[in-house]
């Protein structure tokens, strides 16, 4: 317990977000032979403190790469309790009696927030009506969603497999706003990556509804679209699709509508912000990640289906689905057998704060994000790429003097590729300099400038940084500290960037190097 609290407070990490070490350095630090003799607890505690010393503090407000702060005290306490309880939610009897009921209640709350039909837990009448499951992350939730949609369209797939289907099943989704999990799931589930039919994204990094409709109306020869993916907060700029319009298109073409709300799901708690997700209640399935934006620690994700019978198709013992005395959740959780009491964290958060309390945190975080975005603008060091709907934005390192040169040089079309290379190069260098310092952490990934904010074209990717605010509040002293680090790092890199831009203006070639595909671009 002391190690955990000291890590969160900063003592075990020297007051930094992280103590930087390269991959090879970290391997050398912890590599060793299989211990022949053990260590006493005191020695083990020293080793655990060393592990904490070299860990990244996502709970630190200067950690601005992801929203996964894990900062809820209630959820952290529940995590400790759940570890000691050591429940196995594969079964109610002899496995997890209280835990099974807690997870069922939590699922009911989540269904209510989405706008799905629900009923009081006291009216529980069997597993057929559950309609949701915990998973270890959005990746797995989206895997389950695809498997569920596939079986809903072709129930025989469980018996005959994909090869027995009369048509080739395909998924329609927008490129450039998608999550990596859809390609991964298509490969793992035997559909193949060719089963992804890509449509265009809109300039604001959302799915182009007209392009989705066109792809559904004219699928590849021999293919049958069975699923459309709508995005409620993409992992790059948090752009939110027009979910109601996509629901209309899916209804017209009779295809499963899945909403990836792993990021945007936190907005459902707020009456003021949930309107941005209008139409989510019409989705056939929704994936939510409470460990993204709901202040709970890993792992916490849920897949919900509007019609619970669709998830019930995976039951190992169908005859038990209508038994009101059967609460063995492991019977309807594909991909999972034994699993722990992970739902206690989110249940504890909601129980402690209530919907209104969670909503207040979500709304305060949105306000803090807007203020932090203005802080970035005020430094004069960055140019934004795309719009942001909530808590995350994308930008490049491009201080004002460099931006002025960029605008002059981009008038000549032949200079645009080397200009992209220069912007990417110094954006990478900026993000890496910050990360190695351990003082401030941004994300780094590749992104198309779909709205052409930089004037260098819309089709090629830049290396961009991402700022994501996971905390409801960041105090003034911390903001000042962040500002000082951002400006100092920019002033350190700016002379070299300006020199390279001037050389390009004089006809010299820029140093073009490969793009970084960081976490947001996996």
Q: Which CATH number covers residue 442?
A: 3.90.1150
The answer as to whether 155 is a domain residue is no
Same domain, 391 and 281: no
Task: Give CA–CA dist 194/414, Å, rounded.
Answer: 34
The answer as to whether 137 is a domain residue is no
DSSP category for residue 219: P
- Looking at the structure of the chain, the number of domains it has is 3
Task: Give CA–CA dist 190/322, Å, rounded.
Answer: 31
Of 251, 271, 288, the residue that ends a domain is: 288
Strand partners, 229: 258
The answer as to whether 139 is a domain residue is no
Omega within 30 of 0 (cis) for the link into 299: yes
- 214: CB partners within 8 A, 6+ apart: 199
Task: Give CA–CA dist 184/141, Å, rounded.
Answer: 12
Same domain, 164 and 273: yes
Residue 90 has a pLDDT of 96
Strand ranges of the sheet holding 461-468, from the earlier edge strand across to the other edge: 63-64, 441-448, 461-468, 392-397, 382-384
The answer as to whether 339 is a domain residue is no
The answer as to whether 49 is a domain residue is yes
Same domain, 45 and 164: no
Task: Give CA–CA dist 145/149, Å, rounded.
Answer: 6
Structure tokens at 303: 């897949």
Contact (CB, 8 A) for 209 and 186: no
Strand ranges of the sheet holding 196-199, from the earlier edge strand across to the other edge: 132-135, 301-305, 285-288, 256-261, 223-231, 168-174, 196-199
Contact (CB, 8 A) for 391 and 293: yes
Q: What is the pTM of this model?
A: 0.94
The answer as to whether 93 is a domain residue is no
Residue 515 has a pLDDT of 47
Q: Which CATH number covers residue 168?
A: 3.40.640.10
Task: Give CA–CA dist 233/238, Å, rounded.
Answer: 4
Nearest 5°: phi and psi at 516?
-95, 130
Task: Give CA–CA dist 215/170, Å, rounded.
Answer: 11
Contact (CB, 8 A) for 315 and 321: yes
Contact (CB, 8 A) for 239 and 184: no
Same domain, 398 and 499: yes
Task: Give CA–CA dist 353/399, Å, rounded.
Answer: 42
Contact (CB, 8 A) for 461 and 444: no
The answer as to whether 149 is a domain residue is no
Q: Which domain, by its residues, includes 429? A: 380-521
Structure tokens at 325: 């005395």
Of 255, 272, 288, the residue that ends a domain is: 288
Structure tokens at 44: 């083990």
Same domain, 284 and 387: no
Q: How far is CA 444 from CA 59, 372, 379, in A?
A: 19, 18, 19
The answer as to whether 337 is a domain residue is no
Low-confidence ranges of the chain (pLDDT < 70): 508-522
Task: Give CA–CA dist 21/345, Å, rounded.
Answer: 31
**CA 404 to chain CA centroid, nearest Å:** 35
Residue 1 has a pLDDT of 74
Of 244, 273, 288, the residue that ends a domain is: 288
Nearest partner of 434 among 476, 381, 495, 498, judged by Cα:
381
């Amino acid at each position: 317990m002391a190690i955990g609290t000291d890590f969160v407070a900063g003592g075990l990490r020297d007051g930094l977000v992280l103590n930087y070490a390269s991959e090879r350095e970290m391997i050398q630090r912890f590599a060793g032979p299989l211990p022949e003799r053990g260590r006493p607890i005191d020695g083990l505690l020293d080793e655990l403190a060393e592990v904490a010393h070299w860990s990244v503090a996502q709970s630190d407000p200067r950690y601005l790469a992801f929203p996964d702060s894990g900062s809820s005290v209630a959820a952290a306490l529940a995590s400790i309790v759940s570890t000691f309880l050591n429940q196995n939610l594969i079964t109610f009897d002899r496995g997890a009696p209280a835990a099974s009921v807690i997870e069922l209640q939590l699922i009911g709350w989540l269904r209510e927030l989405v706008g799905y039909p629900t009923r009081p837990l006291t009216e529980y009448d069997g597993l057929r009506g559950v309609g949701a499951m915990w998973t270890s992350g959005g990746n797995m939730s989206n895997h389950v969603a695809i498997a569920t949609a596939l079986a809903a369209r072709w129930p025989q797939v469980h018996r005959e497999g994909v090869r027995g289907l009369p048509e080739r099943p395909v998924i329609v989704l927008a490129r450039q706003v998608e999550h990596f999990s859809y390609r991964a799931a298509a490969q793992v589930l035997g559909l193949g990556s060719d089963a992804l039919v890509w449509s265009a994204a809109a300039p604001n990094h959302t799915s182009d509804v007209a392009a989705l409709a066109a792809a559904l109306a004219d699928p590849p020869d021999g293919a049958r679209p069975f699923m459309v993916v709508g995005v409620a907060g993409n992992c790059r700029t948090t752009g939110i699709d027009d979910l109601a319009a996509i629901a209309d298109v899916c209804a017209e073409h009779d295809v499963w509508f899945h909403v990836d709300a792993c990021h945007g799901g936190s907005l459902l708690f707020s009456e003021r912000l949930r309107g941005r997700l209008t139409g989510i209640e019409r989705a056939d399935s929704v994936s939510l990640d409470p460990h993204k934006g709901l202040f709970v620690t890993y792992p916490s994700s849920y897949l919900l289906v509007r019609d619970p019978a669709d998830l019930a198709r995976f039951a190992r013992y169908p005859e038990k689905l209508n038994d009101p005395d059967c609460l063995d959740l492991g019977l309807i959780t594909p991909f999972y057998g034994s699993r722990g009491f992970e739902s206690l964290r989110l249940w504890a958060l909601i129980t402690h704060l209530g919907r209104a309390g969670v909503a207040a945190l979500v709304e305060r975080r949105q306000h803090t994000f807007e203020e932090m975005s203005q802080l970035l603008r005020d430094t004069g060091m960055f140019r934004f790429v795309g719009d942001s709907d909530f808590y995350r934005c994308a930008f490049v390192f491009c201080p004002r003097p460099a931006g002025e040169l960029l605008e002059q040089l981009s008038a000549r079309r032949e200079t645009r590729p080397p200009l992209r290379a220069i912007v990417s190069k110094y954006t990478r260098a900026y993000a890496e300099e910050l990360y190695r310092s351990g003082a401030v952490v941004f994300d780094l990934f590749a992104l198309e400038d779909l709205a052409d904010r930089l004037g260098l074209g819309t089709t090629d990717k830049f290396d961009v940084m991402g700022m994501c605010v996971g905390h409801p509040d960041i105090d003034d002293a911390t903001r000042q500290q962040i500002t000082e680090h951002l400006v100092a790092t920019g002033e350190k890199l700016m002379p070299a960037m300006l020199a390279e831009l001037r050389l390009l203006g004089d006809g010299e070639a820029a140093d073009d190097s490969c793009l970084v595909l960081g976490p947001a671009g996996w």
